[in-house]
Structure 1
């Protein structure tokens, strides 16, 4: 008879992979070690993931979902409309508190090896549509300067975000403090450049903001790469 499926097999594999990632670094982590830490056979790992890079992609994706949920929670717990600089700061604070995501954005090769050099696809550009819609809606509500095309604003924000991921591979590793300062400065500059004063409809603007974060969490499906 076929062996029964192990409950939460995928979750156990990702938890084990993340632990080894932080304990030993990804270059020194093997699929066999992940299987042993998860308490399953090596073959069972390959039933969930085709190879080791797919495991890392899933780990990073899972952390991204958790980070998004934390930002969403902070925005929901704030009674007023949260401006763009504050949202950026919420995000970087959550990122710096997560050792895996911090390693990704600071280019820590001791943890992730040469991962930032190997990402050549468009996974970080696949979710611009909802961001453009959100910006356009905030312009309608008078929160963001409507004279600047929404797609131009989206491009600027996306370039900065993608640049955070790829900068370590080009410029070398940075520190959490430097990353926090850079994000804070960028958020402040963007906020000043796009601000219009009070929105014409604060409640509608806040509803649009919460919808953005809700859509992001929905689109970060557990089966997709980060």
Structure 2
């Protein structure tokens, strides 16, 4: 599925500049003029595509989410092992550690987003609900395939998965008070912790191959919602 900005490179350039400036200066300080200057175009050209500053930066957030979700679905379609929660989260963690823009925007850094976090509540709140439904279906399909630990229902698996993942992402901000581990070591630890908590040892390959297309499709369905929200804001 092609991203909605593919036909218009200028829009992509504006969003690239807006994302970089948002992380560098924070929402309150960045202006449309700053974005236009960084993108090498006129301020009026930015307003040809985005009705307001809020619309521009909400689109930045949606593009980050879209790119992450699409790559995740692609990995699942290419390798059924990627639907294992431990592998899903390891890949996402590595992606966020390698890309500071995606990491800070995806995690909703309040110092960066400022008032935008409040303005985005409806749009991103709806996205969060839809994303959680996709993860719920992800766990249900794994349970149906016999890939979750015996006696662990999908709701409990989801709770454990969310708690472990959120904890690992949050604790990175406390790294000065914790043992220093490099990114690969942290990713290894995250993967092993999730696997030990919710997955059967050596999940059957045949079961993963059977459920992977359905799980990948649940995340691709999110792209349809994101594209709809995108087109509401980009002219």
Name structure 1 gaps, 5 residues minimum.
1-5
Deviation at 1:29, TM superposition (A): 1.6
Looking at structure 2, the residues matched to 101 and 207 of structure 1 have their Cα atoms a distance apart, in angstroms, of: 31
Deviation at 1:41, TM superposition (A): 4.1
Deviation at 1:87, TM superposition (A): 1.9
**Size of the alignment, in residue pairs?**
213
Deviation at 1:153, TM superposition (A): 2.7
SS in 1 for 2:128: coil
Residues 145 and 196 in structure 1, CA contact (< 8 A), matched pair in contact too: yes
Match of 2:136 among 125, 132, 139: 132
Q: TM-score, normalised by structure 2?
A: 0.67
Deviation at 1:23, TM superposition (A): 5.0
Partner of 2:156: 152
Looking at structure 2, the residues matched to 175 and 53 of structure 1 have their Cα atoms a distance apart, in angstroms, of: 33
Match of 1:208 among 207, 211, 214: 211
Residues 128 and 154 in structure 1, CA contact (< 8 A), matched pair in contact too: no
Task: Map residues 161-180 of structure 1 onto 2, 5 A cutoff.
Answer: 173-174=173-174
Partner of 2:36: 35
**C-alpha offsets along residues 74-95 of structure 1, whole Å, 9 cap, x if unaligned?**
4555475663222211110011
Residues 106 and 179 in structure 1, CA contact (< 8 A), matched pair in contact too: no
**Higher RCO, 1 or 2 (CA under 8 Å, sep at least 6)?**
2
CA gap of 1:83–1:162, structure 2 versus 1, over 3 A, is closer
Looking at structure 2, the residues matched to 74 and 54 of structure 1 have their Cα atoms a distance apart, in angstroms, of: 30
RMSD value, Cα: 4.0
Deviation at 1:139, TM superposition (A): 1.1
Deviation at 1:217, TM superposition (A): 3.7
CA gap of 1:46–1:152, structure 2 versus 1, over 3 A, is farther
Looking at structure 2, the residues matched to 213 and 40 of structure 1 have their Cα atoms a distance apart, in angstroms, of: 38
